[in-house]
Amino acid sequence: MADFDFSEPDILGEDLRMIRGQLRRFVNDVIVPNGEAWEKAGEFPREVFRELGRLGFLGMRHSVEYGGAGLGQLSSVVLGEELARSTFGGVAAGLTVHSDMSIAHIAHRGTDAQKRRYLPLACTGEKVGAICVTETQAGSDVAGLKTRALRDGDGWLINGSKTFITNGVNADIYIVAARTDPQAKGSRGISLFIVEKGNPGLKIARKFDKHGWRSSDTAELFFDDLHLPADGLLGEEGKGFYYIMSTFQNERLVAAALSTGACAKAIELTADYMRQRQAFGKTLWDQPVVRNKLSWLASKTAAARAFTYSCAQMAEEGKDVVREVSMLKAFACETLQEVVHGCLQLHGGTGFITGTPIERMARDARILTIGGGATEVMLEEVAKRL
């Protein structure tokens, strides 16, 4: 089966084209042969982080000074697309949460000492990151956080809980959002902290059994009088909401890349299946109404992909992309739902069998309209800026 690819955007230089090729080989050689076993285990091995780190793909966005490659948002898009083509969304999620959604906070806001302590090991995959924002009563509504961090001598004391945390069991470095000013309303008074595994105040309450992303570990965490020294604070006190919103733009861009990569793979798998499957004396591909349906799904994927690369380029140019990325997160992730479920329909009964790639992709796709900002929240962000 030949790979199905859209034309490579002109804005990608030779380096990123080469990175795409290396990532595709990694996906085909490492993730695809082992993904089903990892689905059953409910997690993938730490060695996968280290292998990807050795190739230099976990620190592409981080400064060269701290072990990264100093690349921009386009590298995150290439990474997301290629990992999504594995058809194992949990692996793609765990790796991109580490590379683009958790450790990125240290890269952007950490002191030099914090960067030197954490970034080199994160870039090599020796240390794994998780971002801890979501709570039982606060997901897309970040301003509703209840976890508190209060002054404790020269340090901090954190109490509260977080839920649906990707890499929650196996992470070494947790970026935790907590309210440092109990009197402040809404988005004010939230700060970020760095919590390391092994802190006696950190409790991993349970590992979730999920509908999709089954090869990623997702946990509920509790903070019970968790003590941190003064340098556990990340960035400025009270600026956490701003930091989270800023990094959300990259997280949503990566979600779009995961969506377009998965769409392209679903179309590839379905076109191959249709050329082999016989019905009414001819292949499905020879039925115009059927192949036209796939053509329509490919057209919508191409539109979502072009928008993704446009937003990435705008972000690299330093433009304000909150409105555009909010549009993109909604459009690309909803397009993914249409594409994978449309492709499952074209697979017929085969698509409904557990363990087939298209069935797995349909399960994994569902979370992308929820995580990182639900579609309804994204559209409201757009409406505020119309």
Catalytic residues: 251
Q: Which residues are registered as beta bridge partners of 203?
A: 222
- DSSP category for residue 319: -
Say what the alpha-carbon torsion angle 205, 207, 213, 214 is, to the nearest 10 degrees: 180
Residue 143 CB-half CA count within 13 A: 5
DSSP E strands: which ranges in the chain? 129-132, 148-152, 155-166, 173-179, 190-196, 202-207, 218-228, 233-234, 278-279, 282-283
Half-sphere exposure of residue 332, counting CA atoms within 13 Å on the CB side? 34
Rounded CA-CA distance 249/104 in Å is 12
CA distance 237 to 202: 21
d(CA 103, CA 130): 8
For 274, phi then psi, to 5°, come to -65, -30
Chain centroid, CA 226 distance in Å = 27
The first and second tokens of residue 83, run together, are: 């990992």
3-state secondary structure of 157: strand
Q: Compute the distance between CA of residue 24 and CA of residue 68 in angstroms, rounded to an integer.
A: 20
- The answer to whether residues 204 and 171 touch, using CB atoms and an 8 Å cutoff, is no
Cα separation, 158 vs 223, in Å, equals: 6
